[in-house]
């Protein structure tokens, strides 16, 4: 057992966990933040995407110990208050970008990271670019149509914000 | 009314999902919870000679290791198929025994032989690996054709030759006679590839036995919690129904695979009683590939005859359906009554005959997966029609148009009575939107870029809203297929709808609220939908087969009828008017032609205070209903796919996919379009990417997302989705159902388009780049000869 300390959604977290604990297990089982999901065993599906030090990361590919001292944001930490959702969350709702909701947290965390990276690099986030960037996120419900539209809309909302 | 029928109301359920507050089964932790890990067979076929669990039992944190002999010894019943199919010769189907934990023999890789219960999931998994099982391996067979061959390994003692049933439908002699005298014959071998359903949320269960009350609670990833309770109680003897509560909370997709009651739920319930702990099991993804019921896997030979005017005179189909190692809950119905009954397609065909052999193999059990039988039927029909058009040298749209059913009701030779539709209207809408007329110009332009452009049609019809209980009962169903609902108007006028339907992505919390809003003129925010808990909802048959609209919502309408009748009586009494003059609109009960009215909440209050209601009337305002449909419903449509193939690599790109559907009445177009998008992606997945692959030893080579190709965002296009509807006469809202159409209609459109592009009709699904490239080489070789 090792004490692992990090900042999650703006709050200090510290838990004694076994050395082989994955970051996703730390988040789900130890911090009980269950918005981050596990949909595969091989880091393909992206349901577990969180932000670690500002970068999108599949939390199933990373040991909790490797996030020692890191700043982590999960989907629960994206909105500033219960009535003030992140523009990307609003975009997913307004464009029907989710159905069963299981892949959604990972999609939203990937999407916000994607928009931020393109905006910082001054690159245009085209439909093709969005589809390419979603290579690591699988959705079985939406056929991606409305997810792509949500991210396009979320990107303009984030620019406006 | 901005929130009523036809309005694009944003989903009420979204907020919890986009903020990470959804509550799925694996998110729940019970006090004193233990974890289950299953010991699974690594062999596809073997005798179990012994199980040594001593090393596992010695591990710290292991609570117990339980096996199949203990399970059957405690009277837990075998898993059954709930639909009896009768063979041609009048004999019942040959169903082999399926114990939740195998005792003497394992029959597929993944078959569970024991379960470890431990203090953590990690310990349980480690301990499961240390359980030593002595297997005596047996010969293996994985394909249905091979399993029916002489000398094939025998999988179940009571199914000689691995034949479960040999079933038939239609008119055999007239069909053969019509084919014998036909002017043109089209004949094809058609394979429908085996798929893994892959809802993104893996299956999960938490069972809690309460010793002091002799009561069980099961949280589970189910599309139909009441059916689960019924089966667990009546057939598996886990507990009587009043001692078993089943809750299906947020469920992350189902697509059919969460209809069934699997060995894991049964074992968790039983293990909870044995260990007096809550027992949780959550599948990992490979375990899902190894244990979730697969879909499709048909091998078909079909023969269609045309007269000199290109009218279809007859169709004869033989299908071998691979049902895997055991018969899953509805496995027998899927390749029979849900498949061959649609083999008349959208066409007026006097003579149709089909026979289907259901076959045991050493593979994962096969059952209904999005579309369930109808995708297989539409693939046969629409590949045949496109092929016929090519062979006859006529336009594929023209050939279909010539053969469409044009008058309704229409009785087909294979049971179904189509009630409504306008197939030509859907075809025209799709052709206009896809600019079919301009296709040849686009083909020429693509050729200049070195690309092969192709176009393909699919005019599908399917059957939903399954179905009149007496009818399905006469066909072998073990359950009735009605739905139930309860409408509770509270004293303050807000409404709770308790429904037996279950939402696992379909947006019922929104759509169901819309029909209440429409009926009583209330905002949807005043309406709550309650589902998924056997302690709250009176009963329900659940959600599958696109039945939540046509059947589930019809039950709500029926209950609302009763509420309205009582409200009118109260209104007439309080407002001192005739009941005939009472109308309900804009959230008020009014006397026609006057300004006298009661607001909706005043009616609620009147009903519950009961100070001033008609003499003899019961207080309260709550009504329930059971709705049994009068017929299947028949969604239909026309899909057109346009592709470009790179001849150098065989890579296919879908340039445009156009879908015109007839779903009858549409409550929320936004949600309906979303259902079509998802169905299209699954159908395109089947056509181009997905396929479960077994090696000859019965090992699944495609049991992870590294090996099984799920469609990604850059594999699919933006879809053109539109509607051209005729009202369904069979239910009060005129609804047909939209949940599966996309997956049913799209695979033949894709394959028809690719084969058109490459000039070789010999192409199986999935049409991967290597398959397309090989077909191109074959075509150029043939051209050279």
User: How far is A98 from chain B, CA to nearest CA, in Å?
Assistant: 8
Q: Which of A32, A47, A77 is the last residue of a domain?
A: A77
Cα–Cα distance measured from residue B193 to residue B379, given in angstroms and rounded to the nearest whole number: 11
The answer to whether B653 contacts chain A (CB < 8 Å) is: no
Residue B28 lies in a domain: yes
Q: B386-420 pLDDT, tens per residue?
A: 999 999 999 999 999 999 999 999 999 999 999 99
Residues A51 and A15 in one domain: yes
Residues B530 and B542 in one domain: yes
> Which residues, numbered 478 to 537 in chain B, qualify as contacts with chain A under a Cβ-Cβ cut-off of 8 Å?
504-507
Residue B586 has pLDDT above 70, yes or no: yes
Least confident interval from B1-5, B317-321, B752-756: B1-5
Contacts of A100 in chain B (CB under 8 A): 199-201, 250-253, 504-505
Same domain, A92 and A151: yes
Whether B189 is covered by a domain: the verdict is no
Do residue B765 and residue B645 come from a single domain? yes
Q: Which of B15, B20, B705 lies closest to A42 in CB terms?
A: B705
Last residue of a domain, one of A77, A102, A126: A77
B489 and B540 in one domain? yes
- Closest partner residue to A132 (CB to CB) among B505, B506, B714 is B714
ipTM entry: 0.98
Predicted confidence (pLDDT) at residue A80 exceeds the cutoff of 90: no
In-domain check, residue A82: no
Residues A64 and A117 in one domain: no
The CA distance from B206 to the nearest CA of chain A, in Å, is: 15
With 80 as the cut, is the pLDDT of residue B19 above it? yes
Closest listed residue to residue B512, CA positions, set B719, B668, B292: B668
Helix axes B423-433, B396-403, angle to 10 degrees: 160
Q: Is the same domain home to B607 and B684?
A: no
Q: Quote the CA–CA distance of B487 and B620 in Å, as a whole number.
A: 12
Return residues 19-78 of A near B (CB < 8 Å): 28, 32-42, 44-45, 47, 74-76, 78
Residue B692 Cα distances to A141, B143, B295, B358, B684, angstroms = 20, 12, 10, 19, 15
Instruction: Tell me the percentage of chain B whose pLDDT exceeds 90.
Output: 98
Q: Any chain B CB within 8 A of the CB of A139?
A: yes
Neighbours of A19 (CB within 10 A): 10
Question: In total, how many domains does chain A have?
Answer: 2
Give me the pLDDT at residue A81, please. Answer: 83
Angle between helices B669-688 and B741-758 (to 10 degrees): 40
Extract the tokens encoding B56: 């596992």
* Mean residue pLDDT across chain B: 97
A78 interaction partners in chain B (CB closer than 8 Å): 19
Q: How confident is the model at residue B1 (pLDDT cuts 50, 70, 90)?
A: low
Q: Which of B713, B715, B746, B750 to mutate to test the interface with A (most CBs of A within 10 A)?
A: B713
A135 shares a domain with A101: yes
DSSP string, B512-559: HHHHHHHHHT--GGGEEEE-SBTTTSS----S-TTHIIIIIIHHHHHH
Q: Min CA distance, B504 vs chain A (Å)?
A: 5
Residues B533 and B588 in one domain: yes
Measured CA to CA, the distance from residue A40 to residue B222 in angstroms comes to 19
In terms of domains, do A150 and A99 share one? yes
CATH code of residue A103: 1.10.150.120
Mean pLDDT within B242-260: 97
The CATH number assigned to the domain holding B50 equals 3.90.1170.50
What pLDDT, on a 0 to 100 scale, did the predictor assign at position B261? 95
Residues B621 and B754 in one domain: no
Dump pLDDT digits (tens) for B319-365.
Answer: 999 999 999 999 999 999 999 999 999 999 999 999 999 999 999 99
Provide mean pLDDT across the span B42-51: 98
Nearest by CB to B713, from A92, A96, A144: name it.
Answer: A144
Burial of B61 (0-12, 13-18, 19+ CB in 10 A): middle
On whether both A57 and A105 belong to a single domain, the answer is: no
Same domain, B395 and B540: no
- Is residue B636 predicted with pLDDT exceeding 80? yes
Q: Which domain holds residue B777?
A: 295-466+631-784
Token pair listed for B355:
């026979």
Distance from CA of A53 to the nearest CA of B (A): 20
Task: With a cut of 90, say whether residue B440 has pLDDT above it.
Answer: yes
3-state secondary structure of B60: coil
Whether residues B226 and B355 fall in one domain: no
Three-state secondary structure string covering B321-377: EECCCCCCCCCCCCCCCCCHHHCCCCECCCCEEEEEEEECCCCCCECCCCCCCHHHH
What does the DSSP assignment read for B258-305?
Answer: TTS--HHHHHHHHHHHHHTSEEEEE--HHHHHHHS-BEEEEEEEEEEE
Closest partner residue to B713 (CB to CB) among A37, A45, A148 is: A148
From CA B29, how far away is CA B436, in angstroms rounded?
Answer: 56
User: Same domain for B592 and B658?
Assistant: no
The answer to whether the Cβ–Cβ distance between A102 and B21 falls below 8 Å is no
The predicted pLDDT at position B288 comes to 98
Interface contact flag, B285 A89, Cβ < 8 Å: no
At B484 the pLDDT is 96
How high is the pLDDT of residue A161?
73
Domain endpoint, select from A33, A52, A77: A77
Chain B contact set for A99 (CB, 8 A) = 253, 505-507, 674, 678
CB contact under 8 A, B11 and A96: yes
The total of structural domains in chain B comes to 3
CATH of the domain at A57: 3.10.20.30
Q: Is B220 left (phi over 0), alpha (psi -120 to 50) or beta?
A: beta
Residue A33 with chain B: CB contacts under 8 Å: 20
Percentage of residues of chain B with pLDDT beyond 70 = 100
* Domain-embedded: residue B369: yes
Asked if residue B635 and residue B763 are part of one domain, the reply reads yes
CA distance B129 to B139: 25
CB contact under 8 A, B285 and A140: no
Please judge whether B18 and A45 are an interchain contact, meaning their C-beta atoms are less than 8 angstroms apart: no
* A-B contacts (CB, under 8 Å): 178
| Nearest CB to A76 within list B20, B251, B255 | B20
Q: How far apart are CA B467 and CA B633, in angstroms?
A: 8
Is residue B4 within 8 Å of B668, Cβ to Cβ? no
Q: What's the average model confidence in pLDDT over B138-165? A: 98
pLDDT in tens, B293-321: 999 999 999 999 999 999 999 999 999 99
Q: Are A56 and A117 found together in one domain?
A: no
Q: Is residue B589 in a domain?
A: yes
Residue A24 vs residue B470, higher pLDDT: A24
Question: What confidence score (pLDDT) does residue A148 get?
Answer: 98
Quick one: average pLDDT of B230-259? 97
Measure in Å the smallest separation between the Cα of B619 and chain A Cα atoms.
39
Per residue in B643-686, pLDDT (tens digit) is 999 999 999 999 999 999 999 999 999 999 999 999 999 999 99
Mean pLDDT on B733-758: 98
Chain B, window 267-326: residues with a beta carbon less than 8 angstroms from a chain A beta carbon: 284-286
pLDDT of residue B2: 84
Q: Could you read off the pLDDT of B81-133 as tens digits, one per residue? A: 999 999 999 999 999 999 999 999 999 999 999 999 999 999 999 999 999 99
Contact indicator for B381, B373 with CB cutoff of 8 Å = no
State the pLDDT confidence band at B370, using cuts at 50, 70 and 90: very high
**What mean pLDDT comes out for the span B740-758?**
98
Q: Which residue has the tokens 């359980």?
A: B131
H-assigned helices in A3-161: 23-25, 87-94, 104-121, 127-133, 145-160
Residue ending a domain, among B627, B660, B680, is: B627
Q: State the residue range of the domain holding A72.
A: 2-77
Residues of B in contact with A46 (CB under 8 A): none
How close A5 comes to chain B (CA, Å)?
Answer: 22
- Least confident window among A112-126, B144-158, B256-270, B465-479: B465-479
Statement to judge: residues A69 and A93 lie in one domain: no
Average pLDDT for B604-618: 97
């Amino acid at each position: 057992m090792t004490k692992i300390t990090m900042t999650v959604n703006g709050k200090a977290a510290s838990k004694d966990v076994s050395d082989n604990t994955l970051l996703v297990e730390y988040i789900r089982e130890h911090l009980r933040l269950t918005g981050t999901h596990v949909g595969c065993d091989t880091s393909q599906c992206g349901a577990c995407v969180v932000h670690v030090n500002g970068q999108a990361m599949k939390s199933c590919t990373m040991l909790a110990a490797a996030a020692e001292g890191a700043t982590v944001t999960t989907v629960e930490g994206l909105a500033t208050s219960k009535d003030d959702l992140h523009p990307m969350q609003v975009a997913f709702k307004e464009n029907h970008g989710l159905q069963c909701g299981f892949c959604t947290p990972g999609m939203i965390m990937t999407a916000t990271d994607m928009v931020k990276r393109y905006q910082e690099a001054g690159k245009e986030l085209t439909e093709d670019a969005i589809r390419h960037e979603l290579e690591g996120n699988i959705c079985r419900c939406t056929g991606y149509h409305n997810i792509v539209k949500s991210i396009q809309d979320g990107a303009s909302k984030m620019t406006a914000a | 009314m901005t929130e009523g029928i036809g309005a694009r109301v944003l989903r009420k359920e979204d907020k919890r999902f986009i903020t990470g507050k959804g509550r799925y089964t694996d998110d729940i932790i019970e006090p004193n919870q233990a974890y289950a890990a299953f010991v699974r067979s690594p062999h596809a076929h073997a005798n179990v000679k012994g199980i040594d669990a001593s090393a596992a039992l010695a591990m710290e944190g292991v609570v117990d290791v339980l096996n199949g002999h203990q399970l059957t010894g405690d009277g837990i019943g075998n898993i059954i198929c709930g639909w009896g199919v009768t063979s041609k010769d009048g004999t019942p189907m040959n169903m082999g025994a399926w114990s939740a934990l195998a005792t003497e023999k394992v029959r597929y890789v993944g078959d569970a032989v024991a379960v470890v219960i431990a203090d953590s999931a990690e310990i349980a998994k480690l301990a499961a690996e240390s359980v030593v099982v002595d297997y005596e391996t047996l010969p293996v067979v994985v394909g249905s054709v091979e399993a029916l061959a002489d000398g094939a390994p025998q999988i179940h003692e009571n199914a000689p030759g691995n034949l479960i049933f040999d079933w038939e439908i239609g008119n055999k002699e007239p069909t053969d006679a019509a084919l014998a005298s036909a002017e043109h014959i089209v004949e094809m071998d058609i394979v429908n590839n085996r798929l893994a359903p892959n809802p993104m949320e893996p299956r999960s269960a938490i069972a809690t036995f309460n010793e002091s009350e002799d009561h069980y609670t099961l949280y589970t990833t189910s599309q139909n919690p009441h059916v689960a309770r019924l089966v667990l109680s009546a057939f598996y003897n886990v507990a009587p129904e009043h001692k078993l509560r089943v809750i299906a909370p947020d469920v992350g997709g189902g697509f059919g695979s969460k209809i069934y009651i699997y060995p894991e739920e049964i074992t968790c319930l039983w293990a909870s009683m044995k260990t007096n702990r809550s027992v949780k099991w959550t599948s990992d993804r490979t375990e899902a590939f190894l244990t979730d019921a697969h879909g499709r896997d048909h091998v078909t030979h079909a023969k269609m005859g045309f007269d000199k005017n290109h009218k279809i005179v007859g169709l004869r189909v033989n299908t071998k359906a691979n049902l895997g190692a055991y018969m899953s809950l509805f496995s027998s119905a899927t390749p029979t009554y849900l498949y061959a009954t649609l083999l008349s397609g959208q066409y007026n065909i006097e003579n149709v005959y089909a026979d289907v052999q259901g076959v045991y193999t050493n593979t994962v059990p096969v059952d209904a997966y999005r579309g369930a039988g109808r995708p297989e039927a539409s693939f046969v029909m629409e590949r045949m029609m496109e092929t016929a058009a090519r062979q006859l040298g006529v336009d594929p749209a023209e050939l279909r148009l010539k053969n469409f059913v044009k008058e309704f009701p229409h009785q087909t030779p294979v049971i179904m009575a189509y009630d409504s539709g306008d197939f030509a209207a859907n075809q025209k809408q799709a052709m206009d939107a896809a600019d079919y007329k301009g296709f040849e110009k686009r083909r020429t332009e693509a050729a200049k870029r070195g690309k092969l452009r192709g176009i393909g049609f699919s005019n599908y019809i399917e059957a939903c809203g399954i179905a009149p209980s007496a009818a399905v009962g006469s066909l072998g169903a073990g359950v009735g297929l009605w739905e139930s609902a309860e409408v509770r108007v509270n004293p303050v006028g807000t409404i709770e709808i308790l429904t037996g339907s279950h939402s696992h992505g379909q947006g019922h919390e929104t759509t169901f609220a819309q029909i209440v809003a429409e009926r009583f003129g209330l905002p949807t925010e005043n309406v709550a939908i309650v589902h998924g808990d056997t302690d709250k909802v009176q009963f329900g048959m659940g959600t599958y087969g696109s039945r939540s609209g046509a059947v589930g919502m019809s039950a709500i309408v029926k209950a609302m009828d009763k509420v309205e009748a009582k409200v009118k009586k109260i209104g007439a009494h309080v407002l001192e008017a005739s009941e005939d003059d009472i109308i309900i609109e804009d959230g008020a009960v009014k006397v026609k032609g006057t300004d006298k009215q009661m607001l909706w909440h005043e009616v609620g209050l009147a009903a519950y205070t009961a100070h001033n209601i008609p003499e003899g009337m019961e207080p309260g305002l709550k009504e329930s209903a059971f709705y049994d449909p009068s017929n299947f419903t028949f969604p239909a449509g026309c899909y057109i796919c346009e592709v470009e193939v790179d001849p150098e690599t065989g890579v296919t790109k879908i340039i445009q996919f156009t879908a015109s559907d007839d779903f009858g009445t549409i409550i929320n177009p936004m949600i309906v379009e979303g259902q079509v998008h998802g169905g299209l992606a699954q159908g395109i997945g089947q056509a181009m990417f997905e396929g479960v692959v077994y090696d000859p030893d019965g090992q699944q080579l495609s049991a992870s997302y590294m090996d099984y190709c799920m469609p990604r965002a850059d594999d699919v296009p933006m879809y053109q989705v539109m509607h051209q509807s005729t009202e369904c006469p069979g239910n009060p809202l005129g609804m047909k159902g939209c949940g599966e159409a996309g997956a049913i209609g799209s695979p033949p459109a894709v394959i028809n388009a690719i084969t058109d592009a490459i000039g070789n009709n010999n192409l199986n699904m999935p049409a991967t780049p290597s398959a397309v490239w090989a077909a191109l080489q074959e075509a150029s070789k043939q051209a050279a000869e």
